[in-house]
Structure 1
Amino acid sequence: METSIASSSSSSPLRFSHNPTNSRPTLNPTPRLSPSGRQSAVATRLRAISPSPTPPPPAPTEAFGFDALKDTFSVDVAAAEARPLDVPLAAPFTIASSRLEAVSNVAVRVELSSGAVGWGEAPVLPSVTAEDQPAALAAVGRVCALLAAAPSAPLGAVLRDVADALPGHAFASARAGVEMAVIDAVANSIRIPLWRLFGGASNSVTTDITIPIVTPNEAAQLAAKYRGQGFQTLKLKVGKNLNSDMEVLKAIRLVHPDCSFILDANEGYTSKQAIEVLDRLNEMGVTPVLFEQPVHRDDWQGLRDVSVAAMERYRVAVAADESCRSLLDAQKIIHGNLAHVINIKLAKMGVLGALEVIDAARKAGIALMIGGMVETRIAMGFAGHLAAGLGCFSFIDLDTPLLLSEDPVYGGYEASGPLYKFTNARGHGGFLHLDNNNGWK
């Protein structure tokens, strides 16, 4: 099923059919920051209103847990490669800040000397990620070549080298894709699924599903469809036109009156508009379970104003998404009481960066959400395993593979409406089809 590949990047795109311990040099090392935080009673209430089932308490740390493996598992990369990952969407995906008609991401394949293979995905969404596809492809390809040429080293050292070669938010998506592939290869090598590697709390998650910015009639059709598929939480994209947003909400309520709402403005409102949205929803008898990124990412005062008004008036939690792209951002949100929830996206901060923010938020008592860009089941599977294994997320938003016109991923998790089950024996279980014409060579 797998074939050996050269350790260099290539520009040939992936096209898919339907269905299916030596010393190591460091590159430009960057300082590590220690998380800190405070306790808050808000997180307890947020978990009580979470649209996802309350997760079980984390399982005891196991000997093969991720932290332990960083010191004990020696990684020897035999080959690594990056390719464009292009998949059309079933319908245009419009949010306040952008419009997409296809996924244009980067797929990453890492093969260890043992023969174990790992897959990762670098998502590209220019309104959120710093990279476009060519930039991400070049960055990932460069690091793939470094990995294949480097001597064996502990997993932690390898991941630090990746972070040093792809630093900060400018390379976060590329870094996430490489980290995913390396970690997946390690999990495949030791024959355990990722959800166990990350803590073993659960082997399933329940996701919401997104309705993009569309007409009221289109929104109603989607809501009716998703109701039939068992989705109880709808994430509604808003933020372009306040009056239109209200009409869409009314249309959805007619066909799915018992659903829970998450509003996601993607930075589209001013603080005054965001509070007006909540006032008007209250007049309609609608209370969202979450209001995500209501204002511009750099409008810290506006974020705080909306958070205070939303909680004091209506007991609505506000989530920081685009405003939280690093541990420093998370610490600012925590110390300034700027939001009630932090949305974790691997493409915003990488896998290791995400784990740092998760740790800081948990210590501070801040509730967590996990989401994604527009990705296939490679990236969503990795994020889902991480969420299930940690068991600490109040809101799960991992639905974008359901919005694609075709599924290029073989294996991986099993989806039954909103329920994702991770029944694979090792890694995240997903891989990409090796097309003889345009696939991996």
Structure 2
Amino acid sequence: MAPSLQPAPRISMVAGETSGDLLAGLLLDGLQAQWPGVAGQGIGGPQMQRRGFTAWWPSERLAVHGYSVELLRRLWGIVQIRKQLRRRLLADPPQVFIGVDAPDFNLGLEFDLRAGGIKTVHFVCPSIWAWRAERIEKIKRSADHVLCIFPFEPALLARHGIAATYVGHPLANVIPMQPDREAARARLGMAPGDEVLAILPGSRSAEVDYIAAPFLRAAALLRQARPALRMVIPAVPALRARIEQVVRECGMAEAVQVVEGQSHTVLAACDCTLIASGTATLEAALFKRPMVIGYHMHPISWRLMRRKQLQPWVGLPNILCGEFVVPELIQDAATPEALAAAVTQWLDAPTQSPDTLAVLEQRFTALHETLRRDTPRLAADAIQKILAA
């Protein structure tokens, strides 16, 4: 991408949680190729700060689980952050505001900023095709433009008069088409012939509270049947101590390796992953790894979410493939016994049903090719056009 001759625009960004920080960091790569020196300010995490972004608040301050009881516990602090940020941006306006995911926080903020004359971009279309379809009107009022990571989304938004651009999924370029399993295992101190299970209990504190224990109890059952099974958890740094505590409480301290970060290395190394529903499931699919998707939340949150669910699937790989290509065990179904049994089927597949693994790899490879675009360049080009309009 040839750098623009125009001076770097003043931008503000808000990214919530680990996944949003990753996406925003990749977007900054494209913006900095277009405008060397652009950095931005607002709410962000370590990936953004590594690229020069000034974080007035860290991304994890916006991380919540569910949208009822857990949200209410932290609602006051989040509302105050948004009020302070709104005042700050309206008093000293950027040329463009980019809200990265976190729609509950960003769409309301974008509405106010747009009303104040600031151009607004929302990066990652809220999953109105999966649940909460009523959000479409809020998107229309809030965003001048939406950057979409799935190819079917721009046409859906266009039907409602919302300008949008498909930019591909940034992770599809970060993750290699053919991951090097042996190199990843070497980095983790594992042998090429080891049988490896990756356990990913989520990147939010409340997810760990609800999901880690059932996952670890399932791991204990698997360990009984497969004593040589290597198990590894890539822990978000802020949650490592909590995860290690749950590992100890479940009596798995000697059996489970906990590493800080390195989720991509762990997914590349594994034979199968037991994984919480979320962006990480798409990462696992791009690594072409079989998985068992599990999730558990507060019962009130679960009842509210189910009422707004539009599709039979929860996990992104199943949603994007349009069928249950991998098992989902959600809420009451996510028992340690059921989780362990589902993982066992994948671990046994190389000898008992190798064709199933081959078909899954083909589906995930096709998905990877569909999502693979030059996301940083396409996103930066779209933002440049918005600024020039």
When normalised by structure 1's length, the TM-score is 0.26
When normalised by structure 2's length, the TM-score is 0.29
Higher relative contact order (CA 8 A, sep 6+): 1
Q: Which has the higher strand share?
A: 1
Q: Which has the higher helix share?
A: 2
